[in-house]
Amino acid sequence: MKIFVSGATGFIGNKLSLSLAESGQRVHALYRSENKLALIHHKNIKAFKGDILDPLSLEAAIAGCDQVYHTAAFAKAWIKDSSKIYDLNVTGALNVIHAAIKSGVKKVVITSTAGVLGASGDKIITESASPEKHFSHYENSKLMLENEIRKINSDHTEIVIVNPSRVYGPGIISESNGVTTLIKKFLSGKWRIIPGTGLNIGNYVYIDDVVNGHILAMKKGRNKERYILGGENISYREFFDLLDTILQRKTAMIKLPVFIMLFFARFLMLLSIFRIPPMITPSLIKKYNMNFRLNSSKAIEELNYNPVGFREGAGKTIEWLGRFV
């Protein structure tokens, strides 16, 4: 079987491409930069240079494929021209879907984000959540894409949406693998900050579970349905305590009040005037100081999705990071 993967040189897409190739599938991997070609070197991976904004390059790469995974996205915290986010995350993704339909592909799995479901407050979020507010153009663009997908009619191509939470684990270190970067800094003694009170809850999912969730969604996912690919709901305090437990140490942490974090983020936004991209934005500070409890029951029941707990996933991640610290 031939399988197309966009975003094959990104965190999730790369792990997915290599996993499929290792299982004996023939993968058509889309790439843009020659510098990243080594990331997709495998006897079962055929590299296609192209761009999701170039329909002709997509049609050439997808031709003859039975399945399509779209993982490519613009996921950086900030860009001066936000329209580029929508070009890549909406127009580019729709280009992939239409090229798949044109080529007669049977099924497409689209990588969205659990961020489209919004903050949970005291509740637990499911796929039916419909938030009034999002915190970034990234989340807005992904929700816009999901809404456009539901308008597409095709007799022979099914489209399934997966919504990963905060993904971490071994793999390419990038902005889309920010949790692993944080663990690496904590491991080497370069991170001692707990955001806000430390009690806000997020959901953290191990990369191998996300990859497996994509493959399960391809096998069992229902047309036009979304599936949360989550892991464990834990607070920041629990996050760092579990890391300390694995490392068999006790780290003195500093709680950084939200107003100080916001001040720093606004200062970074001012620097963006001089073309210095901010590491974090005020809207993201507000986001990460809210609760994001997720329920992955739908994926567990319908796809047989079975994620590991944070302690197990973080243990594997720390073992992998040990070679770099």
Distance from chain centroid for Cα 195: 21
Which DSSP symbol is given to 88? I
- Lowest mean pLDDT segment, chosen from 47-56, 127-136, 241-250, 291-300: 127-136
Per-residue pLDDT at 127 exceeds 90: yes
What pLDDT was estimated at residue 42? 95
Per-residue pLDDT at 265 exceeds 90: no
The whole-number average pLDDT for the span 235-260 is 94
Greater confidence (132 vs 179) lies with: 179
Greater confidence (299 vs 121) lies with: 299
State the sign of the Cα–Cα–Cα–Cα dihedral 179, 185, 189, 195: negative
What pLDDT was estimated at residue 77? 65
Per-residue pLDDT at 10 exceeds 90: yes
SS3 content of the chain, % helix, strand, coil (to 5): 45, 20, 40
The whole-number average pLDDT for the span 93-106 is 97
Fold category of 2-169+205-232+292-308 in CATH: Rossmann fold (3.40.50)
Per-residue pLDDT at 258 exceeds 90: no
What pLDDT was estimated at residue 269? 75
Per-residue pLDDT at 147 exceeds 90: yes
What pLDDT was estimated at residue 324? 65
Give the residue extent of every domain in the chain.
2-169+205-232+292-308
The whole-number average pLDDT for the span 112-129 is 94
Q: 232-235 and 201-206: which strand pairing?
A: antiparallel
Residue 250 — very low, low, confident or very high, per pLDDT cuts 50/70/90? very high
Q: Which two tokens stand for residue 264?
A: 């720093």
Per-residue pLDDT at 322 exceeds 90: no
Q: What gap in Å lies between CA 261 and CA 152, rounded to an integer? A: 42
Backbone angles phi, psi at 247, to 5 degrees: -85, -10
What pLDDT was estimated at residue 186? 96
Nearest to 299 by CA among 226, 227, 215: 227
Q: Which two tokens stand for residue 184?
A: 């690496």
